[in-house]
Amino acid sequence: MLLHEQIEHLCESLKLNSIPTHWSSLAEKCIAQDKSYGEFLLSLLKCEQQQRDERTRNLLSRMAGFPAHKELNTFDFKFATGIPNNTYRN
């Protein structure tokens, strides 16, 4: 089994979902910047944490059931009854 395959397999079993897709590019970047193994590991773990935080935010936003994002310029003012036109246009 190749090194890349072993890393992917272990990351999958440890539930480190973003590392298989980012480790090689981060390794090349750290080599180019002459960083230590510790700095490489730190950047890899930070990447994993950022991905997890993003997934958590997305999941919590979906679960919260927030209404769809709407902007005022797309609102159909014909349905706004009982309010004079200049009131909501200002």
2-48 residue pLDDT tens: 888 898 999 999 999 999 999 999 999 999 999 999 999 999 999 99
Is the torsion defined by CA of 15, 21, 27, 33 positive or negative? negative
CA distances to 25, 28, 59, 87 from 45, rounded to whole Å, are 14, 16, 21, 53
In a domain, 75, yes or no: no
pTM of the model: 0.67
90: pLDDT strictly greater than 70: no
Whether 25 contacts 43, CB under 8 Å: no
- Asked if 43 and 30 touch (Cβ cutoff 8 Å), the reply is yes
pLDDT for residue 41: 93
Residue 44 lies in a domain: yes
Residue 27 has a pLDDT of 92
Flag whether 73 is in a domain: no
Tokens 């059931």 belong to which residue?
65
Q: Is residue 48 part of a domain?
A: yes
